[in-house]
Amino acid sequence: MTVPLPLEGLSAIVTGAGRGLGRAEALELARLGAAVVVNDYGQPGRDGSGEASAGPAEQVADEIRAAGGQAVAHTGDVADHQQARELTELAIAEFGKLDILVNNAGILRDRMVFSMTEGEWDAVIRVHLKGHFNTTRFAAAHWRDRSKAAGGPVYGRIVNTSSEAFLAGSAGQPNYAAAKGGIVGLTTSTALALAKYGVTANAICPRARTRMTEEVFAGLEQPESGLDPLAPEHVAPLVGYLASPAAERVNGQLMVVHGGMVAIVERPRVQAKFDSKQDTFSYDELDALLTPHYARRPAGETFAAAEVLGLKRE
């Protein structure tokens, strides 16, 4: 008796799936049985530069089909509202419905905050944060309509891509860190809004060697044998799990993942609390309470959840 695959009969969209993390995630979802829409705008530059190309998305779709799976390529820009709508419509037209959305598409335009241009800020926010919103908006509408028609919950999974740049800060990436923080807010809001329809939404902070992180991990050599600890293939299984029926109780979560490790990140907790002895605080009272509190901490120390988890970037 053949055991059904975890995602058999389900369909998925993976954005930015022509290379790196997205490619590994698309291949993993297909391996687990999902029919996949492979989305990639196909621009060669990690900063979003160069002519768009169908090549990367088509190549990954070909890989999936060659392995016996179902896949179709989509080369639209998810940061464009109408093209994101068309992406969702393609999945529904090809496979009858949409069950899984993995948002991965992104670009980098790194610069210190005092040097960053408006265009560099807008471009990164547009692709990462607006791109996540656009696809989520149309997938969510699809699931709500299906739920109303069915008279109850339906199957829906969203896996969004945040970053440790949001958790621990990244001095030369104010646009990227802000976008990734916004994605966490979008994820938790979406998780609350769609839970009654049977849909879950979670976010991951992956650490992997891709063209977007080639400079970050340039000093870390790849092993001569065995799987690179920073290979995207370490991240893809978690995406497959979060997309599966087994993860029905996982919702609104943020997870760090890399090299055979998964860490579940808690929501921020209150570190210290001070109450005024008057009707409201005065400057002097705040000075008397807060200045000694921060004086006990090392100079320049900032909140860094990733360091608390032992996940500080190399």
State pLDDT tens for residues 155-167. Answer: 999 999 999 888 8
Q: Which helix (H) or strand (E) holds 161?
A: strand 156-161
Distance of CA 284 to CAs 274, 281, 290, 292, 295, Å? Answer: 14, 8, 10, 12, 16
pLDDT given for residue 222 in this prediction = 62
Query: Could you tell me the pLDDT band of residue 313, with boundaries at 50, 70 and 90?
Result: very low
pLDDT given for residue 89 in this prediction = 98
User: Could you say which DSSP state residue 233 is in?
Assistant: G
pTM score of the predicted model: 0.88
State pLDDT tens for residues 93-104. Answer: 999 999 999 999
Mean pLDDT over residues 69-79, rounded? Answer: 97
User: Is the distance from CB of 15 to CB of 22 less than 8 angstroms?
Assistant: yes
Query: Could you tell me the pLDDT band of residue 309, with boundaries at 50, 70 and 90?
Result: very low
pLDDT given for residue 304 in this prediction = 47
Q: How is 170-215 classified by DSSP, letter by letter?
A: -TT-HHHHHHHHHHHHHHHHHHHHHGGGTEEEEEEEE---STTSTT
pLDDT given for residue 54 in this prediction = 76
Of 85-99, 215-229, 254-268, minimum mean pLDDT range: 215-229
Pairing status of strand 156-161 against strand 199-206: parallel
Report how far residue 229's alpha carbon sits from residue 292's, in angstroms, rounded to the nearest whole number: 43
Pairing status of strand 11-14 against strand 100-102: parallel
pLDDT given for residue 311 in this prediction = 46
Residue among 101, 134, 92, 137 nearest 17 (CA): 101
How many CA within 13 A on the CB side of residue 238? Answer: 27
Q: Which two tokens stand for residue 189?
A: 């809001």
Report how far residue 133's alpha carbon sits from residue 131's, in angstroms, rounded to the nearest whole number: 5
State pLDDT tens for residues 178-229. Answer: 999 999 999 999 999 999 999 999 999 998 665 555 555 445 566 555 666 7
Report how far residue 88's alpha carbon sits from residue 74's, in angstroms, rounded to the nearest whole number: 10
Report how far residue 207's alpha carbon sits from residue 205's, in angstroms, rounded to the nearest whole number: 7
Residue among 310, 204, 314 nearest 256 (CA): 204
Nearest 5°: the CA angle 58, 59, 62 is 85
Query: Could you tell me the pLDDT band of residue 265, with boundaries at 50, 70 and 90?
Result: very high
Report how far residue 276's alpha carbon sits from residue 280's, in angstroms, rounded to the nearest whole number: 6
> Which one is predicted more confidently, 69 or 210?
69
Q: Catalytic one among 162, 163, 170, 244?
A: 163
pLDDT given for residue 244 in this prediction = 98
Residue among 99, 103, 104 nearest 35 (CA): 99
Could you confirm whether 180 is annotated as catalytic?
Answer: yes
- CATH fold of the domain at 11-265: Rossmann fold (3.40.50)
Residue among 11, 164, 179 nearest 94 (CA): 11
Query: Which residues share a beta bridge with 262?
Result: 257
Q: Catalytic one among 155, 170, 180, 197?
A: 180
Residue 66 CB neighbour total at 10 angstroms = 9
State pLDDT tens for residues 102-145. Answer: 999 999 898 999 999 999 999 999 999 999 999 999 999 999 99
Pairing status of strand 254-258 against strand 261-265: antiparallel
Q: Which two tokens stand for residue 127?
A: 């692709």
Q: Catalytic one among 11, 147, 170, 176?
A: 176
pLDDT given for residue 110 in this prediction = 86
Mean pLDDT over residues 26-40, rounded? Answer: 98
Q: What is the dihedral of CA 20, 133, 242, 190, to 10 degrees?
A: 160
Could you confirm whether 163 is annotated as catalytic?
Answer: yes
Query: Which residues share a beta bridge with 202?
Result: 159
* Residue spans per domain, the chain: 11-265
